[in-house]
Chain A
Amino acid sequence: MIAIYILWLRQLKRFIRKKTSIVGALGQPIIFLLAIGFGFGPVYAKAGGGNYIQFLAPGIIVMSVLFTSIFTGLEIIWDKQFGFLKETFVAPVFRFEILLGKTLGGATVAMIQGILVFLITLVAGFQPHLASLPLAFLFLFLVAILSSALGAAIAARLDDMQGFPLIFNFLVQPLFYLSGAIFPIKNLPPVLDVITKINPFSYGVDGLRFAFSGVNVFPPVLSLGVLCTATLIVLAFGTYQFSKVQL
């Protein structure tokens, strides 16, 4: 278990030392808040939705956690290319522990990033229920674990970053845009309705929105259940993928 700790610590150290990328990763959420948040705000209010920033903020926080987590998971590709993965794989540590250490490290890093974005949304006028902050963090952490494990599982079988645009455009972006992060998932066209309902991140966004504003589409218990189940499935898949890695 101490192996998981040192893998986690390594991830954290690497993150904290890359200060420019921490700041850099804040750019996208800020643009989303400004352009989409304030841009669509009046339309959203006119349509009877109320305060759009209030609606959008949880979605933006999930976005930053999702992206940071997946990218940290994908860093395994770099570890492979720079040879560090070999060092980890010849050590007497189970592959499952390596996956778990990586996943927890990625999730922790993403949580830090998510909290920074949360603070920015406060500046932008977001007013969350502070009493349910622990519940919000729980949802956020589940989103972080799920996406970090997903990134690691995918990266396990990739040899270089060439597949990266494919992953980003056909997996990461759809997972975010079709999660109800930027629009309400009620009264959608049937295809979109199905997609948003099978996307586990919809439950993360919805859960977070419930914790912050008391507004929800899915019962919070269902959201928790879906996130936990999806995480277990991805971890099992990741363990299988890791067991197949040849260097």
Chain B
Amino acid sequence: MLIAHLHPHKKYHKIQHMEYSIEIKNLTKKFGDFTAVNDISFNVKKGEVFAFLGPNGAGKTTTIKMLTTILKPSLGEVFLHGHNVIENPHQTRKSFGIVFQDPSLDNELTAYENMQFHAILYGLKKEVYQQRIISLLALVELSDRKDSYVKNFSGGMKRRLEIARGLLHNPKVLFLDEPTIGLDPQTRNHIWAYINNLNQQENVTIFFTTHHMEEVERMAKMVAIIDHGKILITGTIEEIIKKAGTKNLEDAFISLTGSNIREEAGNVSKNQMRISNKLMR
């Protein structure tokens, strides 16, 4: 199963079989008697763009938290570029970058200082990060606000800064939890073009969630749909549309997950999660 882990430093010009970027086996997370993620298993190949879809509260963010070492699974295993996420979180952390669903900037610092903080935590040298921060800020069009306090930024500007920050240390896997939330179409296009480029040029694995199906259709090679903590389906976009027997991905998504509107329970505390669980029963 884990042959891939024997060659962690191997150059991967081409996607190779058994060379997975993310391997998830029987992953489960329970909060009290509420099962947020229920025995999910799937793999993501190196260099793949993988869309992880599901309605609000389906278990997407909980899964991402477990993949990124900040939440301990109740059961199951995760490997990220060959590192056992649960047993070896420290090594794992070097290999991925993440843009969280919720804000995670220090409002009392400037844009540059937020980037610098990140760079130093990831052990980048000054010559390297100075240059890279400048070019990433240019990419997200925040160069002129380099020295402004983040507390004076709009929601969209904060989002762009977070994306720039997630790219700073050249991760091998990039997790993007609803990265384009609150962004205008121009910025969304811009950022997806960059991420696409990153994937093509540097073979960075992209694992993202979104509610915009056109982003999935444009970007993703593989898709998994999760609901009530269970994986409903995985496959290419064509496969999913075919299996659901619909015209497009959005219809397939709705037909698979039902048309009920969900309570947002993605990032609430465990208590609130239990309450919303009770409401759903």
Residues of A that sit less than 8 Å from B by CB: 2-3, 5-6, 10, 13-14, 17-18, 82-84, 86-94, 159, 246-247
Which of B71, B116, B117, B123 has the most chain A CB atoms inside 10 A of its CB?
B117
Q: Is B120 an interface residue when CB atoms closer than 8 A count as contact?
A: yes
Residue pairs across A and B with Cβ atoms less than 8 A apart, 15 shown, are A2-B120, A2-B123, A3-B121, A18-B108, A82-B103, A82-B106, A83-B104, A84-B104, A86-B104, A87-B100, A92-B91, A92-B94, A93-B93, A159-B269, A246-B70
Contact between A91 and B269, CB atoms less than 8 A apart: no
Contacts of A93 in B (CB 8 A): 93, 121
Assembly CA distance A3 to B120 (angstroms): 6
Question: Apart from A6-B120, A10-B113, what 17 extra A-B contacts exist at CB < 8 Å?
Answer: A3-B120, A3-B121, A6-B121, A10-B117, A82-B103, A83-B104, A86-B100, A89-B69, A90-B96, A91-B118, A91-B121, A92-B90, A92-B91, A92-B121, A159-B269, A246-B71, A247-B71
Q: Which residue of B lies closest to A14 (CB)?
A: B108
Residues of B that sit less than 8 Å from A by CB: 65, 68-72, 90-91, 93-94, 96, 98, 100, 102-109, 113, 116-118, 120-123, 165, 269
Contacts between the two chains (Cβ within 8 Å), count: 73
Contact between B72 and A246, CB atoms less than 8 A apart: yes
A159 to chain B, nearest CB (A): 6
Contact between B93 and A90, CB atoms less than 8 A apart: yes
Q: Which residue of A lies closest to B69 (CB)?
A: A90
| Cβ-defined partner of B108 (8 Å) among A6, A13, A86 | A13
Contacts of A83 in B (CB 8 A): 100, 102-105
Assembly CA distance A233 to B116 (angstroms): 33
B163 to chain A, nearest CB (A): 13
Q: Which residue of B lies closest to A94 (CB)?
A: B90
Assembly CA distance A247 to B269 (angstroms): 9
Assembly CA distance A67 to B107 (angstroms): 24
Q: Which residue of A lies closest to B162 (CB)?
A: A87
B91 to chain A, nearest CB (A): 8
Q: Which residue of B lies closest to A101 (CB)?
A: B121
A237 to chain B, nearest CB (A): 20
A90 with B105: in contact, given A2-B123, A247-B65 (CB under 8 Å)?
no
Contacts of A247 in B (CB 8 A): 65, 70-71
Assembly CA distance A2 to B93 (angstroms): 17
Contacts of B70 in A (CB 8 A): 86, 89-90, 246-247
Contact between A84 and B93, CB atoms less than 8 A apart: no
A77 to chain B, nearest CB (A): 13
Contacts of A5 in B (CB 8 A): 120
Contact between A13 and B100, CB atoms less than 8 A apart: no
Contact between A90 and B123, CB atoms less than 8 A apart: no
| Cβ-defined partner of A13 (8 Å) among B91, B113, B269 | B113
Contacts of B71 in A (CB 8 A): 246-247
Contact between A6 and B90, CB atoms less than 8 A apart: no
Q: Which residue of A lies closest to B65 (CB)?
A: A247
Which of A18, A88, A247 has the most chain B CB atoms inside 10 A of its CB?
A247
A80 to chain B, nearest CB (A): 11
B36 to chain A, nearest CB (A): 12
Assembly CA distance A87 to B68 (angstroms): 11
A9 to chain B, nearest CB (A): 8
Contacts of A18 in B (CB 8 A): 108
Assembly CA distance A2 to B126 (angstroms): 12
A87 with B104: in contact, given A3-B120, A92-B123 (CB under 8 Å)?
yes
Leading 10 A-B pairs by shortest Cβ distance: A83-B104, A91-B121, A92-B93, A6-B120, A247-B70, A92-B94, A87-B104, A83-B102, A14-B108, A86-B104
Which of A17, A89, A91, A94 has the most chain B CB atoms inside 10 A of its CB?
A91
Contacts of B93 in A (CB 8 A): 90-93
